[in-house]
């Protein structure tokens, strides 16, 4: 009880302090913004916010088509723009007669937020708008209208922990996805279950990335756009903003080398980790899934791996034995010819020894990708396979026929016996 009382007191002090801070900030910002507007020479004076709210702070105020025209005084007052006058944004009303015409000029956020709007103009959202999309996001889609709050305000749509929900209102909405022809479809639900999504929603971690950390806040570009943060060749740097150590490892890998050469088939982080459904790397189910991902490029290696005990056990869904990364490493995968590679000849005893404690030089002559069809690489296995095939064929052919004939004769005998 004592603790709760103390907490309540602290909360009240905190609220008062922040409220006064916001008020002060608003007051100091207001004249600056107003100063940007051209000085009005002729009368009549522009309507004050109170003039506007005299009509608009009314729940019943509607357009002819029934959409709301309400601006709550309290909501606007609490917004980051609360200290501004309505006409600072609705500049066309500065000299209008009241009541004003129903159709107003579009508010131009660039009046104050020039850089952000310039970035937005490059974004996939702006491009889609320009192309005639009626659903692509504009400033208000993410920031709101009269209730805009700063991104540091936990009630803001753009507060770090709220961004995913804000983006999901479109990118998890089937009708918007359809109308906007959004090829990737619903990314909201996979992200929600991803390790990043859970870190945000369950653990409330401000350090966990949300949509804008990878895609950017205003200049969100499609991955096909080379300037995009999520363009294939930019992905390692984007992920590396947080996972810097991993990015360094990856930079030395064969995958990074071919990626840098512009090979569009080269893997970047999301190739194995996925973009939105990223799992914890120690999740066995994910680790087993990555095997298939490796196999999607290295099909021949995948095939021979599946012929081994390692490949069979993992195929059954058990993580108990070696998967690709256990021998090849993960982020810094190197060619076997590279002496630093875990599968370089000189490192095999140590690499195999991670599981097979007493592995020796003889042991590592095992071929973890042996191909029974390859006479040059695996001669012994090739002939063993052919021999076994022959043995099985001959045995089953002979005894299959033997049994079939016997069955026929046996049935005949049985019928004859029954007749007697």
Partner 1 sequence: MSEVVQLRETDRYVLRFSRADRLLHGFLMLSFLGLASTGLPLLFSDAPWAARLARALGGFAVTHRLHRVFATMLIAVFVAHLSRLVERVAVRKDYGIFWGPSSMVPQPRDLVDMYQHVRWFIGLGKRPVFDRFTYWEKFDYWAVFWGMAIIGGSGLMLWFPEVFARVMPGWVFNIALLVHGEEALLAVGFIFTIHFFNSHLRPEKFPMDMVIFTGRVSERDLREERPAEYARLASGPGPFPGAGRPSARLWLAGRVVGSVAVAAGLTLVSLILYALVF
Given candidates 174, 299, 316, 418, which one binds partner 1 under the rule CB under 8 A?
316
Task: Return d(Cα 170, Cα 133) in angstroms, integer.
Answer: 13
Which is closer to partner 1, CB of 245 or CB of 410?
410
| Helices 284-297/299-306 angle, 10° precision | 130
Contact by Cβ (8 Å): 355, 370: no
Given candidates 15, 263, 312, 345, which one binds partner 1 under the rule CB under 8 A?
312
Q: Cβ of residue 308: shortest distance to partner 1, in angstroms?
A: 7
Q: In this structure, what token pair is assigned to residue 50?
A: 């109170």
Q: Does 391 sit near partner 1 (CB under 8 A)?
A: yes
Q: Cβ of residue 384: shortest distance to partner 1, in angstroms?
A: 5
Given candidates 309, 350, 354, 373, which one binds partner 1 under the rule CB under 8 A?
309
Q: Does 291 sit near partner 1 (CB under 8 A)?
A: no
Q: Cβ of residue 14: shortest distance to partner 1, in angstroms?
A: 52
Task: Return d(Cα 212, Cα 219) in angstroms, integer.
Answer: 10
Which is closer to partner 1, CB of 14 or CB of 366?
366
Given candidates 308, 325, 329, 330, which one binds partner 1 under the rule CB under 8 A?
308
Task: Determine the interface stretch with partner 1 among 61-69, 151-159, 304-312, 328-336 (rule: CB under 8 A).
Answer: 304-312
Given candidates 306, 325, 329, 374, which one binds partner 1 under the rule CB under 8 A?
306
Q: Does 399 sit near partner 1 (CB under 8 A)?
A: yes
Task: Return d(Cα 212, Cα 120) in angstroms, integer.
Answer: 13
Q: Does 288 sit near partner 1 (CB under 8 A)?
A: no
Task: Return d(Cα 78, Cα 258) in angstroms, integer.
Answer: 52
Q: Cβ of residue 116: shortest distance to partner 1, in angstroms?
A: 52
Q: Does 317 sit near partner 1 (CB under 8 A)?
A: yes
Number of residues interacting with partner 1: please give it, by CB under 8 A. 48
Task: Return d(Cα 224, Cα 231) in angstroms, integer.
Answer: 6
Task: Determine the interface stretch with partner 1 among 80-88, 111-119, 203-211, 394-402 (rule: CB under 8 A).
Answer: 394-402
Given candidates 395, 397, 418, 419, which one binds partner 1 under the rule CB under 8 A?
395
DSSP state of 107: P
DSSP state of 62: B
- Angle (CA) 76 82 87, round 5°: 90
Q: Does 315 sit near partner 1 (CB under 8 A)?
A: yes
The terminus-to-terminus CA distance of the chain in angstroms comes to: 101
Q: In this structure, what token pair is assigned to residue 40?
A: 């009005």
- SS3 label, residue 284: helix
Contact by Cβ (8 Å): 306, 315: yes
Q: Cβ of residue 299: shortest distance to partner 1, in angstroms?
A: 15
- SS3 label, residue 49: helix
Q: Does 408 sit near partner 1 (CB under 8 A)?
A: yes
Site map 350..389 versus partner 1, x via CB under 8 A:
------xxxxx-xxxxxx--x-x-----x-xx--xx--xx
Contact by Cβ (8 Å): 367, 382: no
Q: Cβ of residue 419: shortest distance to partner 1, in angstroms?
A: 15
Q: Where are the alpha helices (DSSP H) in 79-153?
A: 86-89, 114-121, 124-130, 139-143
Which is closer to partner 1, CB of 269 or CB of 364?
364
In 3D space, the residue among 132, 134, 130 whose CA is nearest the CA of residue 120 turns out to be: 130
Q: Does 336 sit near partner 1 (CB under 8 A)?
A: no
Q: Cβ of residue 318: shortest distance to partner 1, in angstroms?
A: 4
- SS3 label, residue 92: helix
Contact by Cβ (8 Å): 182, 172: no
Q: Which residue has the tokens 């680790």?
A: 287
Q: Does 296 sit near partner 1 (CB under 8 A)?
A: no
Q: Does 320 sit near partner 1 (CB under 8 A)?
A: yes
DSSP state of 281: T
Q: Does 14 sit near partner 1 (CB under 8 A)?
A: no
Q: Does 318 sit near partner 1 (CB under 8 A)?
A: yes
Task: Return d(Cα 394, Cα 413) in angstroms, integer.
Answer: 28
Q: Which residues bind partner 1 (CB under 8 A)?
A: 306, 308-309, 311-313, 315-318, 320, 356-360, 362-367, 370, 372, 378, 380-381, 384-385, 388-389, 391-392, 395-396, 399-400, 402-403, 405-411, 413-414
């Amino acid at each position: 009880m004592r603790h709760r009382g103390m907490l309540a007191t602290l909360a009240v002090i905190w609220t008062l302090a922040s409220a006064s801070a916001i008020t002060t900030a608003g007051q100091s910002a207001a004249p600056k913004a107003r100063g940007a507007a051209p000085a009005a020479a002729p009368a009549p004076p522009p309507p004050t916010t109170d003039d506007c709210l005299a009509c608009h702070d009314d729940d019943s105020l509607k357009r002819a088509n029934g959409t709301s025209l309400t601006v709550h005084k309290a909501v606007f007052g609490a917004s980051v723009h609360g200290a501004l006058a309505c006409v600072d944004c609705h500049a066309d009303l500065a000299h209008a007669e009241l009541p004003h015409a129903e159709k107003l000029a579009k508010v131009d956020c660039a009046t104050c937020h020039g850089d952000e709007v310039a970035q937005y103009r490059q974004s996939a959202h702006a491009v889609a708008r320009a192309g005639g999309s009626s659903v692509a996001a504009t400033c208000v889609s993410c920031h709101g209208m009269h209730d805009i709050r700063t991104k540091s305000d936990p009630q803001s749509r753009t507060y770090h922990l709220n961004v995913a929900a804000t983006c999901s209102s479109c990118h998890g909405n089937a009708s918007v996805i359809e109308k906007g022809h959004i090829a990737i479809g619903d990314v909201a639900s996979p992200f929600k279950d991803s390790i990043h999504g859970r870190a945000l929603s369950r653990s409330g971690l401000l350090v966990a990335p949300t949509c804008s950390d990878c895609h950017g806040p205003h200049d969100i570009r499609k991955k096909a756009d080379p300037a995009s943060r999520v363009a294939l060749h930019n992905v390692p740097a984007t992920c590396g903003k947080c996972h810097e150590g991993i990015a360094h490892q990856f930079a030395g890998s064969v995958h990074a080398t071919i990626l840098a050469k512009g090979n569009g088939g080269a893997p970047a982080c999301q190739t194995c980790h996925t973009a939105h459904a990223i799992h914890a790397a120690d999740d066995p189910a994910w680790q087993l899934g990555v095997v298939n991902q490796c196999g999607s490029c290295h099909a021949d290696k995948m095939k021979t791996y599946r012929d081994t005990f390692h490949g069979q056990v993992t195929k059954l869904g058990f993580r108990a034995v070696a998967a690709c990364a256990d021998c090849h490493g993960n982020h810094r995968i190197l060619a076997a010819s590279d002496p630093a590679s875990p599968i370089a000849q000189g490192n095999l005893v140590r690499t195999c020894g991670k599981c097979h404690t007493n592995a020796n030089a003889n042991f590592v002559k095992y071929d973890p990708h042996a191909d029974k069809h390859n006479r040059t690489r695996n001669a012994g296995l090739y002939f063993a396979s052919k021999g076994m095939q022959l043995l099985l064929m001959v045995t089953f052919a002979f005894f299959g026929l033997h049994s079939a004939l016997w069955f026929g004769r046996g049935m005949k005998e049985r019928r004859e016996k029954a007749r007697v």
